[in-house]
Amino acid sequence: MIQKVSLLFFLAMSFTGSVFGQKVKYKDLIVLLEAKQFEKAEPFLKKYLKDNQDNPNAFLYMGMIFQEKTFSNDILKLTDILVSNCDSASLFFDKAYNTITEKEIRRNDEYYQMYSRRDLRTGEFGIKLSDVRLDIETRVKSVKERKEKVKETKRYFVAAEKLFLKSVQSFKEIYDKYESESAFYLRSDDGLMANLHKLTNTFDSAQNAFNSYSASLKQLSKAGYNQQLNLQEILNLKKDGLTAPDFMQDDLKIWDYKRWSKSAVETIEKVINPLRDRLITYDIALNKLHEKIKKDSVSVSTELLLLDDGLFYGQLKKYDADPMPIEFFEMKKTEMRYQSNMISHKPIRDTSNVKLKLAYLTEELGYIRKLDSVASQLAKRDLETDSKNYQHFVTKSFGTKAVLLSLINSTQDYARRERLKKQIEWEATIQATKWVISGADSIPVFAEQSKELRFKPLVIVDEKYTVGLSFRDSVATGYFYSITPTRLPDVKANFEVDAVSFTKRNLPITKCLSYADVGNQIYYALIYSESKVGDKFPVTLVKIYRTGGLAWVNNYKVVFTPTELTFSNENGELTIKTTAGSESRLVVIDKNGKQIQ
């Protein structure tokens, strides 16, 4: 074995020199050929055949060399070369087939030892022409079959590659048309649906071509490829699906355009189109309610509550975080709520109850402010983009974008006019709640007051009564007025106070304690000074009945500062608690105003 390898090496080195100089001797070359050293033998054999066209065995081996090359040529990258080698192999095999005869085999039997076999009849080894021809026929058939199968495989591969790339391009065309996934769904139309179906069909064809390629590839020996489709799901239109695959890789990662396009079509047909129809029917329902308000002058607040559809809104917001139609519907509903409130409040609009009037004005002002806000936000929107996203809604409900814009602007103008009017009315009413009106006098029921005001409140019990001092020519007079919703007092009293102690100058140190029984039938008010006169604190105590008005008023002096009033229903006595630090004393006044303790 070592001697044979050494001989092959020697021959290879010898032939290297002879290619460029000496004549190639076939008896030397046959050693390399029989050892299947085809790569080393090929240049020498080609040179030999150039000079010798009468050696059938050389034709046979040249055919084998070209046949061997068809197994080493890349079936996808070197297809043309592989086909050429198949043709060359067939050509040389044909030459060998037509020139190898019995005579050739007998004369050069040492060249055909590969076909030597024992004759079963004689038991002797020999070479038969039929065996040589059968081998050549088999080789020719194999070469021709490989050639056709490679061409078929390459054809399927090219078709699959082309269709996959066409799928990528079709997807990119869809991608380029829409700036976001939201726009993709909202602006979907018949053209998009046709493109999605086309993408599905193209991808189907690509997969079918790839399956045919894979099936054909499996029939090829020494193919060198074993690609497997690895379908990648497209989850986001603007992030996935844009990269083309490397078709030479065994792990062939392909974006699954069919799955994506079918899902998109299903979403458009089962979700987006019904949502579009729902927008139209919802708008029609709102228009009917608006017409009911105009025609019948009735509130539709209950109907608006029944019309609210959170599920519908939620579905639309999955595809648009800020849908224009929803904001438009909110504008229409807010306007109808405002008008419904106006209608509901009509029976009490002329009420003298200022608190009630303020309550309904506050409610109306809230709706009109919201309407102004919503209409202003709508007016600021990019209606050009909105009209593209909601073309079906705009066309069916308004005809054109200009009509929609005109409606928004007119609603905004209406809201601003109504808001100004309501604001003025509300401010006037809020001012009215701050005063109790008694004849020509206006008594404040708020703490902040101007120095010019004649009435100076000392106690204000919200929505019940107020106690204070009024000054005319710097002389103080005590007052008590009940605070009613109409601001017209149903209980009032004016009474004298200690004029020396309770002057305008002493207002900062003048305080008041008050008491009202549970039924608001009896009232007490104790006005006192935080500054002593002599060694005691001056106080004026007044008792008032709801039905009889002023019962009595008395002036007293107490040792400590008054801090609490307690009334006894059993005997009608009023206890005044006075305190100085941790020490306290009680002053008891009977029901007639006499100090008994």
* Residue 194 shares a structural domain with residue 296: no
Number of independent structural domains in the chain: 3
482 with 409, same domain: the answer is: no
pLDDT under 50: residue ranges of the chain: 1-20
DSSP three-state, residue 506 = coil
In degrees, rounded to 5, the angle at the alpha carbon of residue 143 between the alpha carbons of residues 140 and 148 is 125
Residue type for position 21: G
The answer to whether residue 537 sits within a structural domain is yes
Beta strands in 547-582 (DSSP E): 549-558, 561-567, 574-580
Q: What Rg do the C-alpha atoms of the chain give, in angstroms? A: 55
Question: Strand pairing partners for 584?
Answer: 579
Instruction: Say how many C-beta atoms besides its own lie within 10 A of residue 54's C-beta.
Output: 8
Q: Whole-angstrom Cα distance, residue 588 to residue 570?
A: 14
Q: Is residue 15 within 8 Å of residue 42, measured between CB atoms?
A: no
Domain assignment present for residue 16? The answer is no
* Token pair listed for 270: 């089962």
Same domain as 297, residue 217: no
Assess whether 441 and 423 both reside in one domain. no
As a whole number of angstroms, the distance between CA 404 and CA 328 comes to 10
Same domain, 237 and 283: no
Locus of tokens 């690609």? 227
Q: What integer pLDDT is reported at residue 21 of this predicted model?
A: 52
**Beta-ladder partners of 512:** 527
Please indicate, yes or no, whether residues 230 and 180 belong to a single structural domain of this protein: yes
Q: Which residue, 190, 223, 255, sits at the end of a domain?
A: 255
Q: Is 123 left (phi over 0), alpha (psi -120 to 50) or beta?
A: left
CB neighbourhood size of 167 (10 A): 28
Residue 261 and residue 200 in contact, taking contact as beta carbons nearer than 8 Å: yes
Of the candidates 240, 117, 269, 65, the residue with the CA atom closest to the CA atom of residue 168: 240
Domain that residue 302 falls in: 274-432
Q: Is 128 helix (H, G, I), strand (E, B) or coil?
A: coil
* Any domain includes 591: no
> Do residues 295 and 289 touch, judged by C-beta distance below 8 A?
no
Are residues 353 and 460 part of one domain?
A: no
Residue 451 and residue 424 in one domain: no
Q: Looking at the structure, do residues 497 and 537 belong to the same domain, yes or no?
A: yes
Whether 202 and 283 map to the same domain: the answer is no
Q: What is the largest CA-CA distance in the chain?
A: 164
Please report whether residue 188 resides in a domain. Answer: yes
Q: Which of 148, 250, 158 is CA-nearest to residue 213?
A: 158
Q: Is beta strand 441-444 parallel, antiparallel or unpaired with respect to 435-438?
A: antiparallel
Q: What pLDDT is recorded for position 449?
A: 67
pLDDT computed for residue 17 by the predictor:
47
**341 plus 204 within the same structural domain:** no
233-270 per-residue burial string, b: 16 or more CB within 10 A, e: under 16: ebeebeebbeeebebeeeebebbbbbebbbebbebbee
Are 286 and 397 in contact by the 8 Å Cβ rule? The answer is: no
Does residue 269 lie within any of the structural domains? no
Q: Which is nearest to 256 in space by CA: 173, 171, 186, 331?
A: 171
Shared-domain flag, residues 242 and 283: no
In a domain, residue 375? The reply is yes
Q: If we measure between CA atoms, which residue out of 510, 506, 524, 596 comes closest to residue 561?
A: 510
With respect to residue 422, please indicate whether it lies within any of the assigned structural domains.
yes
The reply to whether the predicted model has a pTM over 0.75 is no
Q: Domain for residue 299, yes or no?
A: yes
Residue of 506, 436, 509, 447 lying closest to 471 (CA atoms): 506
